[in-house]
Every structure is written in C-alpha cells, then in structure tokens.
Structure 1
Amino acid sequence: MNILHLDKKDIKNITYSILDLSPVIEGGNAADSLANTLDLAQHAERWGYRRFWLAEHHNMPGIASSATSIVIGHVAAGTTKIRVGSGGIMLPNHAPLVIAEQFGTLESLFPGRIDLGLGRAPGTDQLTAHALRRDRHSDGQDFPEQLAELRTYFDPSLAYGNKPVRAIPGEGLHIPIWLLGSSGYSAQLAGQLGLPFSFASHFSPEYTKPALDLYRSYFRPSKALESPYVMVGVNVIAADTDQEAERLSTSMQQQFLSLLRNNPGKLQPPVDNIDTLCNAYEKSLLDQRLKTTIVGSSSTVKEKLQSFLDETQADEMIINAQIFEHQARLKSYEILAEIVH
C-alpha cells in the first residue's frame, strides 16, 4: 500500500462543484424543479464552479432527477462550458451497456463536458429496487464485475478476450469515471483501479477520514489517473447572517428527519426551531448525520470550510444545498463562490 504525505491546502486553491438533487418543494412540482436545476447550473457556470452533478434517486417525492441521464442532457444543452455528470448513476440498477450508450451519447453531444460518477447502492428502497428489475439478492456484490464490463465498452483494450458487443456511441470516447461511496468499499476499489473517488461526507460524515485514508493508501497509478484525486460532498448553506442560514438549514434537517422516519416527502419550508418537530433522540441522529454540514454567514462558512479542508485535504469539494426558496439557494452558492474564488 502507498501512504502519501499531504501538504496543507487553502480553500482558494482547490476546485468547487455542485451536487444538485433537483429538490421538489412543498407546493411545487417536478417541472419547477427541473427549471430551477437548469437556472442554478447556468449561474454556477458564471460563478466559476467546475462541474454540476445530478443524482439518481427513485420513489422520492422530493427529488426530480430520477431519469438522471436525461436531466444531464437538459443541463448540458442549457450551458456551454461547465462539466455535467452523475453523482451518481447507481450502476446495479442498469445494464452496463445501456449506461455506456447513454453516456456515450451525452459525450458525443457535449464533447469534453461529461462525467460518469458511479455508485453501487440502489438509491431507493428494496421494493422500488425490485421494480427497477434489480436483483434483490445481489446487494451490489457484483459491482466490480459490472464496472469492469462498463469500462470495456468505452475501452475495448481492457477486455481479456473478444468482446462481440459494442457500445455505439461510447466506444473510444474518454469519459471520466468516478467511484462514489459512503463507506470503505468503493474507496478501496477506486484506489486499486486508479480512479478518482468522491465521498459522501454530506450524509456519512463519520466514515469520511477512514475512507479517504483507505483510498489514498490503496491507490495505484492508472491510465486514468497518476495520483489520488479526492472529492468530498459537503452541505453548505450560506446567508447574510448566521441566524438566517440556520433557519434556511431547517428545510434540509426536515428532509433528513423524514428519511429517518422512513417517510420521504417534498422539501419543506424552513421553520424557526427544528427542535419543535423532533424528539431528543431524533435530534441526536440529525446532529450526527449532519455534523460536517457548514451553515452560516460568509465569515462563518469560510472558517468552517477551511477547517474541513484541513481535516480531509480534499482536492475538490462538491457542494449540496437543500434550500426551500430557489433565490435563497442561488444566493447561498453565490456567497460560497465569492469566498473561494
């Protein structure tokens, strides 16, 4: 294994991107959400964000990006230079050939702008996973084999023998493949394959440091990457004051609370005090799940962002902001852009 010495980084010297869950708000619909997604991407491009990723979730009333490849095409068509991709596609839900063809098509339409982030979870509940025709007994255990198959569609030289099936479009195209994870499994696999790795710190903070250490220690240089490249997901909610940002963050807290209760719904308006909506045990679970979330005014966000970077030494941060009002969400990302650029 390879242990790297990491020099301290400054928040102005790393890359920033956006993870958009296309939130469907209470009183809104998917059409509104997808229009807001494109609007956010267009602003993000002007503000200097590097990439704009969308995530595959199913049977979730508050997320409109279930047909992820289609939404990626929608966003890429409405922008000109920002990279657009998946954060991620849940590969076990799909035939690898279909994903190769979809992303081969996207890369053919928008050359040099498409990323393919892959996860191995279903991105939904077990009943919905079955409706997606996912094998309920696999639990993602065949993910390495699926990943290997997918990669050979883009690069047939990776195949050990003759491969009669070809991905057209797809074959011969250079589409960066990222592995996404919320534990050590994908971290180790990404390191062994020499692929960039993105960790879901925004909902699995307790495993962040162990997973990043595992990735870096197992990393082997590859055709894709010469040295480890780490992206971390971070919830950031910024506003003019700490108090305003804290209030805005209660929409995200309510969303996580609904997931804890196994009752997902639309993104709710902010409230003055989240403690009135949950008991002490639920609040402790929320605090644990969101302990790396950064909420506050510009100065507060700047300080907390640097502290998180000191801890992770990430090469890139991908920012999630579940904020009820679209204009407040835009402002949050604008404040962050002003801090880091």
Structure 2
Amino acid sequence: MKKRIFTYFALILMFSTVFMSPLSIVASEVTSDGQSIEVDEKLIKEAESKAAKEEAASEKAEAEKLAAEEEAASEKAEAEKLAAEEEAASEKAEAEKLAAEEEAASEKAEAEKLAAEEEAASEKAEAEKLAAEEEAASEKAEAEKLAAEEEAASEKAKAEEERHGFTLGIKNAVNVNNQKITADNAIEANETFILELNGHLTSDHNYRAEDKIKFNLPAGVTPSEPANEKLIAGNSAVANYTINNSGVVEIEFLETAEAVSKQNMALQVKVSFDTNYIEKNTKEAVINPIADDSTDCSYSSRREARVFFKY
C-alpha cells in the first residue's frame, strides 16, 4: 500500500489561493515513489474547512473544558477558602468562647476567693471582737469581784475594828420649861419632861462617816414623840440621830466627826415615865444609866438621873 506524503502542502495551498480560481486549482501530490498526482482543490478546501471547524470545536470544547475546570477550581478554591474562613472563624469563636469562659471562671474563682477571704477575715474579726468582749467582760467581772471582795474586806475590817473614844450618858432631867426637876419642883406622874443626854468625842476617837450607834432609852422611859435631829459639837453637826416610838435611839456619824476632838454634844429627848417605876414612899424615880439597858455598853457612862413626881 502506498504511503502518502504531503510535501509543502501549506505552500502550495497559499500559492493556489493567490493565483488560481477555486474551481481550477489543482494541487500536486507527490507519492512516496516520486510520482505526482493531481488533487481537487475544492475537496481540499472542504477538508481543510471541516478540519478547521473540528479543530475550532475541539479548541472551543477544550477551552470550555478548561474554563469549566478553572471555574470549578475557582469555585472549589473559593468554597475551600470560605470553608477555611468559616472554620477559622468557628475556631476563633470557639477559642474566644473558651477564653471568655476561662476568664469568667477565673474571675469567678477570684471573686469566690476574695469573698472567702473577706468572710474569713470578717469571721476572724468577729471572733476577735467576741474574744475581746469576753476578755473585757471577764476582766470587768474579775475587777468587780476583786473590788467587791476588797470592799467586803474593808467593811469587815471596818466592822471588826473596835470603835472607841465616844461616851454617852445622862446629864439631867428637866421639865418642859427647862427647869431641873427636884423634890420642890416635882412634875405630875404622866407629865412630859426632857431627858438630857451628853455625848463626848475624845481626842483619840476613831469614829468615821456612816459609823452607827444604836441603844435603848432606860427602862420606864417612853418617848412622847419620834425625833429626827442633828447632833451638834461646837458649831458643826457631827451626826444625825433618830428616836422611834419604842425608845430606840440611833446615831449615825457624819464625815465631820472625823476632825472633831474633845467635844461635847447635847441630845434632848422628850419623854414620859412609867408610874410603875415610881417609888411610892419617896415619890421619885431613878433613871438608870444608859449602859444598863443598852445592847452596846462600850460607849456609855455610869451616870443616872432622879426624877421627882407629885404622887
């Protein structure tokens, strides 16, 4: 079989286009054995046109394919880019979320820690305050206890200390006109008269403010009325004294008594006398010394008084 070889085909085609009519163009074709054959130009043109169209269609298809591939690649790249961006955004959002959660958790933990520290500090302060108050209360109670014990000891020592330097005795018995009652100046049996008592503070007395002396009036003597008076030494009141209806006399010394030395003081009591104590023959009554009827005789003198009655 003969092998066709087209030599210089393009050159022949060019010349045939320029110098020949389409209907009369004849191309020479050289075979492999050097022989020349004539070819119809129209057929060649049609073949070339068809080939060109096919080539153009092929190129177009190839171009469209490439465009489609490029578009697909672009779309894929865009999709991948969007996916990557979405993934990155998602990862970023997740990271920010985690960071926010960690920050919130950290802030919460810090707040809880601070709250716990504040609570602990508050509880500690409260405990210290309570401890201080308890200690202060304990110290106060202890101080009050000691003060009470000291005061009790002082009062006990004061009570146990023997008081001395005060004497009290009967000075006289006078009528309401301040006249001495004698046999020639006697009073009626139930008549009120005045019993004068005399008190004396010596230079070495140890009576202090609020010291008290209590005694009973002599037997047979009854106060005509209660009394609440001051005991005067010189120009100063050194004690208050009271007398009740039962004949109990109570003297309470004032602070001024502490400075008094070698001072006498008068105490007058309006009284009446029980007729059972009057001697019928002599019509007189002896008022015994206070010491004989007192519960405390250490301060009493031995002087007595005689009262004469019209009987």
TM-score (norm 2): 0.20
Query: Higher relative contact order by CA 8 Å / sep ≥ 6: 1 or 2?
Result: 1
Structure with the higher strand share, 1 or 2: 2
TM-score (norm 1): 0.18
